[in-house]
Structure 1
Amino acid sequence: MRAFICGLKGFTLEADERAFLRDAAPWGVILFRRNVDAPEQIARLTAEIRDALGRHAPVLVDQEGGRVQRLGSPHWRAYPAAARFELAAANAAQAERLAWLGARLIAHDLRSVGVDVDCLPVLDAPAEDSHSIIGDRAYSRDPARVAAIGRAAAEGLMAGGVAPVMKHIPGHGRARADSHLELPVVNARREDLELTDFAPFKANADLPMAMSAHVVYTAIDPTAPGTLSKAVIGDIVRGYIGFDGLL
């Protein structure tokens, strides 16, 4: 069996979940809003997870800011959406500094309750006619700006002891549907994908982890979404982009 990540039902670790963790030995556990109540509760839950697994297993969360923030009010700061970093900055260096600082603060919040992996940065570059599922979760529409600001956010997390997960490789920016609800199909040419969608990931290929995009790219593989496609994962993610970390 390959390494996998699983979720949990609620605020506490139930007996059946403890048994599952012990027997199945997942690589890590991801928390969602349904698992989050208060700082003390999450700290207990992360400790229970690691006790059940018998090791200091990674605990992940999606803590981007804006619409995607599993740890929220009233116990945690309300972080801005990614797009705000570019809009609020007078220059590129300032935008990157703001992203670094925001991610460093997020890392502090997460580490204080035992979470050590954050599914951030979002390295998608949204197209004009794309679905709003990415929208202001992206740092910019400019792939170069996405790459630079995303790099700063990743480094802010790592400075605080939290591992980043870049997403959604090799790019969700052209999708005209929410991949949580239906399967997006992108018909762009490979040359265009390389210039826009793939570029931020290629610039950050040395980051330790990535989350795949559940999107069909007809120029690469018209038969399967990226998550399940040998062509997308092998030829694009591992090959062209050059990412060899945990996917």
Structure 2
Amino acid sequence: MSMASIFGLAGPKLTAGERAFFRDASPWGFILFARNIETPAQVARLCADIRDTVGRHAMIFIDQEGGRVRRMRPPYWRDYPAAAVLADIYRNNKSDGLMACYLHHRLMADDLRTAGLNADCAPVLDLPVDGADPIISDRAFGNSTASIIDMAHAAMAGLMVGGVAPVIKHIPGHGRATVDSHKALPRITEPELQLRLTDFMPFTALSDAPMAMTAHAVFDCVDDTVPLTLSTAAIDHIVRGVIGFDGLLMSDDLDMKALSGGLTAKTERALAAGCDIALQCSGVLPAMVKVAKGAKTLTGDARRRADIADYSALYADEFDRTSAEIAFDALLIQYGHQQVSV
């Protein structure tokens, strides 16, 4: 029986302590970071060891967007550009932009799937605004809801046909945040109607995604005291209600400074508020133990949503990687962006 948690790991190999802990705690999923990545063969071994430890084909996540946020890098993997590069192509030619976005994510899915990973914390659906903290900036598919929606659909398609489950983020929108939630708690003060017509729109348009990650931010229009990740009112009204998202809802990293309190309490509060899964990324064993104490067994709607997410990564279509790389590089060059294949 899986628990409602996703954990990180300390390094490129499982330690004896991690093996024992993961076997007992049985988290639903795992997430890898740069500290866990060395070579394709090493990542494949690590993924196999993780699954052998828990006795099932567990979801293994990574943040692989391109640009600043990519854990798998050269010399073993392509140096994928940021979403803003794809958005630039889209602004020049919508059809070419959508194709570039699709190929970008289809190639990444092939990288991940080959290395043993089957879930990507992408695409970013946040709508950046002037004056916001630069934590989103070039990670966004432009600064209009239309471009974000179009390109996010292409991104999600590229991942899913490659057998990688996407996680849309950061629901219901982090683009207005004036502080980085890794460091402090953002507050979104705009009225709900304005947010429905802007920030919420990409998430509403992609509400059929199998998974979403929360924004650690206070939304004054619903709950002006508690960040959405920990707020029953905000999750019920905005995420499940206004946006209509019924996929698996995972918290952003519980270690981020936007959330106050101990890890056990934050885990309990996030799951009680309506998150299906608590995410904790540090790979520090004592911290994971605290999260495990606050986690609960995946049952009911959370179990149903987790099963659907699992199913979305079962199969990958046949793929001619060489042709895809030639086509992708041609689009980058055509619109003035450096060829990035290795």
TM-score, L = length of structure 1: 0.98
Deviations 1:74-119 (A, max 9, x none): 1110101001112124222221111111000000000011000000
Q: Aligned to 1:125, what secondary structure does the other structure show?
A: coil
Q: Is the 8 A contact 1:210 1:245 kept in 2?
A: yes
2:36 aligned with 1:35 = yes
Q: Is the 8 A contact 1:220 1:231 kept in 2?
A: yes
1:241 maps to: 243
2:212 maps to: 210
2:199 maps to: 197
Larger Rg: 2
Q: Aligned to 1:202, what secondary structure does the other structure show?
A: helix
1:107 maps to: 109
Amino acid in the other structure paired with 1:207: A
Distance in 1 (alpha carbons) for counterparts of 2:98 and 2:232: 34
1:20 maps to: 21
Question: Which structure has more helix as a fraction of its residues?
Answer: 2
Q: Is the 8 A contact 2:3 2:26 kept in 1?
A: no
Q: Is the 8 A contact 2:171 2:214 kept in 1?
A: yes
2:67 maps to: 66
Deviations 1:141-184 (A, max 9, x none): 10121011011100000011100000000000100011011111
2:336 maps to: none
Aligned residues: 247
Greater RCO structure (CA 8 Å; 6+ sep): 2
- Structure 1 residue 208 displacement after superposition: 0.2
TM-score, L = length of structure 2: 0.71
Deviations 1:7-36 (A, max 9, x none): 110010001101111101000000011111
Q: Aligned to 2:30, what secondary structure does the other structure show?
A: strand
Amino acid in the other structure paired with 1:156: G
1:118 maps to: 120
2:232 aligned with 1:221 = no
Q: Please, which runs of 5 or more residues in structure 1 have no aligned partner?
A: none
Deviations 1:195-219 (A, max 9, x none): 1110000000001000000011111
Q: Is the 8 A contact 1:117 1:164 kept in 2?
A: yes
Question: Matched residues, percent identical?
Answer: 54
Q: Is the 8 A contact 2:3 2:27 kept in 1?
A: no
- Structure 1 residue 2 displacement after superposition: 5.1
For 1:126-165, list aligned pairs within 5 A. Answer: 126-165=128-167
Moved over 4 A (4+): none
Distance in 2 (alpha carbons) for counterparts of 1:175 and 1:2: 31
1:86 maps to: 87
Deviations 1:23-73 (A, max 9, x none): 010000000111111111100100000000000000000000000000012
Q: Is the 8 A contact 1:86 1:92 kept in 2?
A: no
CA-atom RMSD in angstroms: 1.0
- Structure 1 residue 229 displacement after superposition: 1.0
Amino acid in the other structure paired with 2:33: F
- Structure 1 residue 226 displacement after superposition: 1.2
> In structure 2, which of residues 150, 173, 176 is the aligned counterpart of residue 174 of structure 1?
176
Distance in 1 (alpha carbons) for counterparts of 2:3 and 2:236: 17
Q: Aligned to 1:140, what secondary structure does the other structure show?
A: coil
Q: Please, which runs of 5 or more residues in structure 2 have no aligned partner?
A: 250-342
